[in-house]
Structure 1
Amino acid sequence: MVRLHRSLQFLLAFIVYSKPLVLAQETKQFIYNNGFTEANLILNGIAKIHSNGLLELTNTSHHQIGHAFFPLPVHYNTSLLNNSGLSSFSFSTNFVFAMVAELRADNGGHGIAFTVSPPAELKGAADTQYLGLFNTSTIGLSSNHLLAIELDTVENREVEDINNNHVGVDVNNLKSIQSAPASYFSENENKSLQLTSGNPMQVWIDYDGMEKLLNVALTPARSRKPEKPLLSTPTDLSLVFTDYMHVGFSSSTGSASSHHYILGWSFNRSGQAQSLDPSKLPQLPHGKKSGGLRIIFPLVIVIVLLITISATINIARKRYAEIREDWEQQYGPQRFSYKDLYKATKGFEDKELLGRGGFGMVCRGVLPTSKAEVAVKKVSHDSKQGMKEFVAEIASTGRLRHRNLVQLLGYCRRQGELFLVYDYMPNGSLDKFLFNDEEPNLNSVHGFQIIKGLPSGLLHLHEEWEQVVLHRDVKASNVLLDADLNGRIGDFGLSKFYDHGSTPQTTCVVGTLGYVAPELTRTGRPTTSSDVFAFGTFMLEVACGRRPMESQRPPEEAVLIDWVLECWNRGDS
């Protein structure tokens, strides 16, 4: 009976695995140097192959995943290796990629990961900061049996990223066992690279099973393989891989996204991967060409000609006139043109209005070039005094990156108006859900989902960033909700920056009545504690379902904090 049982086991194993065994033996190496049209890759999510053979993992759609894997598994007989001590557990690959950011080169999506994984479809992976590899419950599990070489363009403190432009070696996790800023060695000089520059770059990955050493190198697409790798990581992959592994690429988008492309790919299971010829690779769209060819701008010439011959240009100048001063040149990438914002919001028409208050108005817009959805906030300023410092703080705010903060993308100045451009939050502000009868009321589950990440965002502002950031106007209307009802702190129009260990140089009391800490009205000096006080008031607001100040109530109930404290003292629940 035991022998019969073992025979059945063997028969089942043969039926299930015999085909992959044969196929894997026939595909120890491959090369795609002329595009992926005939590759028959396994594509998941929004990954697609263009008509010229270019592989696109993700586009500028937000919160999406793209996977592309070689159709056949690679055979690694790990049981034989582990039992016999054989050291032929090696592989080599090189590929050319390009990342074209949605808005600016320093504000792109999450990046690309070369992936070796047992399944070719990474089911359940999150479509945000985990590069399409994991979710909150699977990240870090040894049962993943996954190797990833990440080309990461977002600094995620949750996984201890070193910056927003690095290469890392990941095993079952996104906490890299080794990482380095994106760069390459040329003539004993380390030269930096910007992953989201839009220029094609080439990656070499070589694993030596005898040395148990993984080497990773990165260069511009037309450069030779460096003699010195960027990363040289000791690791025993025979303890990670299963018998059959799939090789491919993974990417995901969040609130800021990029076009992630693979132009060519070579792989060898038992030797050095064949070299790619950059001149044969498919060309990139968006005016970018493979091999680092220079970009030609015929439209610029047309625009210049139109400027010189069009009689209507004077009217256009008046309509789109801006304030530009010499000191603003350093903030060029964060400066939007008024013309683009005017067109994006259809002239700030009422149909695009998201909200209006004492600060001014907020309109939804679609940027004409990238087609990205944004929120444009228009505020008034009638004095040049302090404007230079104010714009400097706006530029600093634009470098804040956290999953629970609304990203400030840039600004524009025109006559007596200042425009701030933010990520668009499709579900609006939290107070709309709390106090608008037309919207469904929040239950406790949704309420907790919204607020659970906000303390992390506030902690990032106060302690984790390179400077201390005082928000100075934390309230329900400044907590915005993304497409998945995740809460994000927004509206940094009143924020102040100062160095850790120092005190803010301001004595101006700002904020919203009901949220302002008592000591702030006496000293006039905001602190992180005054932000925390406002956040505590906001938490009471969510818990009680009423505003901090309601004058129509009896005097003893008008101020939410006083009323809650009185109820506490009386022992009322």
Structure 2
Amino acid sequence: MTLGQSALPLLFFYHPVTVMGSCNCLLWLMMLCSSCLLCLLEYPVLVSSHNDKRLSSGPLVNVSKHLSFPDFSSSNPSVYQDVKLLGSAKFSDDKASLQIPDASQAVDLRHQAGRAIYSAPIRLFDPPTQTPASFQTTFSFQFNNSYGKGTSNSSSGLGSSGFAFIIVPDEFTVGRPGPWLAMLNDACDDDYKSVAIEFDTHKNPEFGDPNDNHVGINLGTIVSTTTRIVSLKDGSMHRAWISYDGLHRWMDLRLGSDNSGYPSQPTFSGPLDISPYLKEYMFVGFSASTGNHTQIHNILSWNFTSTSQASLLVPSTETCESKVIVNGGQSTNSSKTKAPSSFLIFLAVVVLGLAVLLNLYYNGKRRHKEPSVVLLSEKKQRPQPPNKPRRFTISEISSATRCFSDSQELGSDSRGTFYKGTLLNGSHVAVKRFSAQFLSSQGLDRRRIMKEIGAVSRVRHPNLVPIRGWCKDNRELWLCMIIFPMEALTSGYSELVFFLGPGDSRW
């Protein structure tokens, strides 16, 4: 019997407002006394057993992991064993490379997403010291424009979305296509830990991209923490060198031609703490995607080395021989299992006496009162108004607007862009996608946005567009409204819903 097992039946039957008779009171006190004595007798044994199994911490040691893939040809058997492909990705024998997307399977190369992940987790964080691992990785890559089925030649030279070197917590998630670069999807909540170095060839102003040729560092979100303008779409082979010092929280990123050697000047070099976005074991690899234009992302070679600190666990020095009973049944560790001291027994008796006096006192006061039972009222659920706006998922909004296709665009201004959409139930809606610059410039937080959406949804006016719902993801905001005929749209439709600006009361 353990401490939790002995106390559980007592806590189950006892209720402070239940009026007990003298017999029930004495019975309860006897059970309490016996439970306390048993716990006191067994407590030294439990502590001794726990201490015997404990492993002491030793000195810090370095744990290293090294990966090397000179190419990704089928003649290298370790490629198929060590690299796991997800989504639209394949090993190409033509270039001995890893290709995303897979042009041999996709009917339409637009809006494709894929990943290539090293199949085993790597220790990249030490929880006791909260120290991230140090790592170095280098890889060569090349972008090729492709005119897959359903893609016109007008895509040439425009780039697509790009690819990223990723550090993620699992080996089965595939992110969304388009500007998300297959890094994140709707299943990734706010606590999804990830680190990515993106090589982007398409400008997405809503994500703060400076242009259509840049590298960025992403920490737990698709919006880059920092970006640098580079040249990626020239068709040549590039090589990236990424080095991270976990002890000093410092990252160094260099980018150059594959045959030009190690660049003398870094593309980015500065302090960067990635520890909040790491678990103890993470997966490393690549992700890539395409949007409205197509592009083949080729990873030609890859090397990765990590070094993390860990405490060496030293096993107990106790041996089997030390537990053998010798000298007339006396054990070498008999002192650990000796009976409790007289002080503990005295303490148990004092507690028992106080419990008896308290129960007799309260029973005397309640003797002439009727028994009472306290019933806890069940928490009532507030009814949901039928016309109250609901929260949509990013998947619903993206599906309704066909991944925010240009053909669905109704108009735009400094605050964002309007899209025409169709929900899964067939309802036609208009989706307002607010730009990140507008939201940040206005200083809008989640509480204020929800307050104003709720206020507008309660107003019924013939000149006010009814709100169907909303969606918010990190720094983005989408507003879903009932769509009106073209005559209504051209007569000030966009002026009716811009209620998020300070002092704007035109609606």
Give the alignment's TM-score, normalised by structure 2: 0.48
Higher RCO, Cα 8 Å, sep 6+: 2
Larger Rg: 1 or 2?
2
Structure with greater strand share of residues: 2
